[in-house]
Structure formats: C-alpha cells, structure tokens
Structure 1
Amino acid sequence: MPQQLGDNEISEYGVSQINEQDRDRLTRHVMRVGDIVFSRRGDVTRRAYITGKEDGWLCGTGCLLLRLNHPQCDNRYLVRFLGFHETRSYLTQHAIGATMPNLNQRILASVPVVLPPREHQERIIGVISAYDDLIENNRRRIQLLEQAARLLYKEWFVHLRFPGHEHVKIKDGVPEGWTSGVIGSLGEIVTGKTPSKKMVSYYGDDIPFIKTPDMHGNSVVTKTEENLSDEGASSQATKMLPPRS
C-alpha cells in the first residue's frame, strides 16, 4: 500500500487484495473510518485519512496506522496538520536510514502537534472539505474527458477511422504521408532524480516535483504531492521538464 499513498489520498491503482480468511486472521490491522495511515519507508510524509471507501481495508507492513480517539482532536484536522511543511520536514529529518528513510512508531509518536479548540478544528475542516468536494467533482469531469479522448484517439489512430479516411491510401500499415519510427528518434530520454531528503531547504512550495504516485491513473499530472524550493530545483537543473515533455 505505501505506493498507493499520496498527500491525504489513497489511489486504488495497483492495490493488492487478500481473501476473507486472511483478513479475519489479521483483524488488528484492519483500517477503520477515522484512522490515519502513514508510509513507513521512502517518502515518509505520505499519509491519508481513512474514509468510508477504505473502511475494512488492510494496513500492510509498509505502513503505520494511527488510531486516535482523543476528545480534543478531530482526526480530519490532524491529517491536514501532518501535511504542513514544518511537520513534513520534522519527519524527514528524524527518519532513520541513509539510503531509504524509514519511519517507526517512536518517531511518529514524537511529532509536535498544535491543536486549536475542537470547534475551531471542525470549522477549518468544513471550509477545506468544501474545496475538496469541488476538486473531486472537477477530477471526475477530467476523467470523463480523458476517457472520451482515449476513445477518440483509438478510433482515429488505431482503427484509422479519422475524418476523410475513406480517401486516404494506407502504406506499410500507416496512412500515406505519415512517418513511423522509434521514440528515441523524437527527442531525449532523461532519468529523474530525487534531491537529498536531508536538505530541508530543498523542499518548499515553488516548483512541482513529479514522482511515480502522482502519475497513478493519470495521463496528465495536474498536482504533485511534493514541491521543491528554488534552491532544490537549482540542484537538479538538468532534470527540469521543458514544455510539452
């Protein structure tokens, strides 16, 4: 599941499943509404609030589960607080492991938390949720448009039934006048790189930083779970994506 975690969201893309017998055997790891799940390794800032959609899912070994029931804390507010830049920096700095950062229960339990009165938390969540609903509605519209675009692409460029195709000759499997080749002949292929997590100043809100989870189920990336500072982007100048990449 860690690779399915994002910035307070869980992608269903590539989620593994188990049978009911195994689920019953692992009941203490079953997630419930209101839980907060964290990635244990890699990007240890990834987390999500468990909603009714994920209720009953299993928390895998690559994750840590927060099950809190404190009267002064609304977990919907807490999961947002845990996404603040300062909190993410704390987790990154205190994670163990030089090659791959790892999170454990002790580190997660030590995270400093500031809680306004409960009613203020609920008001904050009310405002944020309204925006989240708008974002989700727009995301669904985008998915429908992407589906329509895929169908159109398949009709025109796979089945070659584009407007006026009746009057076009097919030569070597493609319409006359078209060219065919390999991707490498069209441009340059560059391998990405992650700036050092130990350099807190490399991360901020200036430059979107695309990673694999941002692309799950998306043909177009409109939002990234992490952003770099100008300093962090400058350290990876050769990895900047030009327009139309």
Structure 2
Amino acid sequence: MQPAQIAWIVHERQPLPPSEQALGPGSEAPGLLAAGGELSLARLTEAYGRGVFPWYGPGQPVLWWAPDPRMVLPVADFKLSRSLRKTLQKFVRTPGCGLRIDSAFDRVIAACAAMPREGQDGTWIVPEMMAAYVAWHRAGAVHSFETWIDGQLVGGLYGVSLGRMFFGESMFSLRTDASKIALAGLVAFCRVHGIALVDCQQNTRHLASLGARETSRADFERHVALTRGAPGVTDWTYHRSHWAALGLSLADGGHTTAA
C-alpha cells in the first residue's frame, strides 16, 4: 500500500522512514521517501547507511530518495570496450598523465555542479549540498577520483565511502573520456580494496554501457547492510599498480605518476 504523501522530517532526531514508504512507480516522484531536515553529517551517515540519498533543486527542501529499482555497477562487470582500453593504455603510458584521489576535492565538486546535464536546468548540487559534502570529505567519508593531464584537472568524480561500499555521486569531463578514465580508476581501486559494488543511483544509458545494471531496492539495501560496517579503506592513494586490476599493461612507457 503506497502512502498518500511522503513523511516530513521536522527535527534532527527524527529517523528517516522505512524505504518501503517511498512513492511508487505510478506516482509523480517515484522513489521519493521524505522531505525536510538538514544535511548534517549524522543525517547523511544515517541515510547512506540505509541506501537513501538527498537530491533536490534550488528553492526546494531537502528531498530524500530510495528508488526501486536501483542502478548499480558491479565492479567485476565493468565493461572495458576496445576503444576505452586503448585510451586507458595510452593514458597510463603517457608522461604527465595521472590519476589522483582527493588532491582537489573542492574543485571536483564545483566542476560537477557547473557541468551542464542533458534534460536538466541548473544543478542539484546546490550550495548547501556542496558545503555538506565538502565537510563530509574533511571528515574522511567522501572522496574524489581525478584525471590530471600536464598539471591540469580535466575530469573526475566524487562519491561516499562507507565500510566496503562506494556511492557514486557525480562526475565531470573537460576533455574527451576524462570522466571515463576517472571511473575506470575508481573501478580498479575498488577491485584492489575489495569493494564489489558502486552505487549509481539512477539509470542512464551511459552507465549501462559501462556495465551498470538495475537491481531491486531490497537487494541493494541488503548489500549495503552487509558492507557498511566492514573495515573501511585506510589508504586513499591511487597507485599506478592499481591499473593492473583492469588488465592494463604497466610496461614503462615514460609514464609519470605526477600530474
């Protein structure tokens, strides 16, 4: 039985409602669970630990979502096309090209906020959202994967890490395939560190082409419950050896890890 209306969060000690209360596929906002509250670190930790995320636009209250189905990328199923493999192999071997983690987080999230999105007016990464995730990054739970070429930040993504679960948030690209390189770096990092699944939230053709697929909300929440309490990654450094997890050759081609 779907609720006639969503729950409102009126104080910070009020827990989010069960995800089963989210609006269903026949509603105007499928997956919408609740509205209101603040983007405190405690609230964000509670939400992501249950598979819920905030997503809203300028002038709206905080909106909390638990969509069914959920788009996820099993890192074992990442599709490395021939063209992307060629791009990555060239990137790995080219001097001045490198992938970094957390060296320019503020710039990454700002670039994601400014990136035009097909079918969207404006951005959902509103100033209070940006401030909350920057604070969460400072607390050690949010990380950026960054594509650098000749000292320039040309693409990247950021997401939330809880235990052995990574929740992808947004990406940007200023050069062809720069965001794909960052995503490939994330996948390689996850394979090395035993993170089996990357949350992609919503279904897009781009993500599906890279191996992402839909799963039921119940299955997704079970996976989150199993992985959120596992020991988290302690070394958020991207090592060149991580590329081998994608089957890339690390033969010396003059590559330097400094971007």
Instruction: Give me the TM-score of the superposition, normalised by structure 2.
Output: 0.23
> Which of structures 1 and 2 has the larger relative contact order (alpha carbons within 8 angstroms, sep 6+)?
2
- TM-score, normalised to structure 1, is 0.24
Q: Which has the higher strand share?
A: 2
Which has the larger share of helix? Answer: 1
Work out which of the two has the higher radius of gyration on C-alpha atoms and give 1 or 2: 1
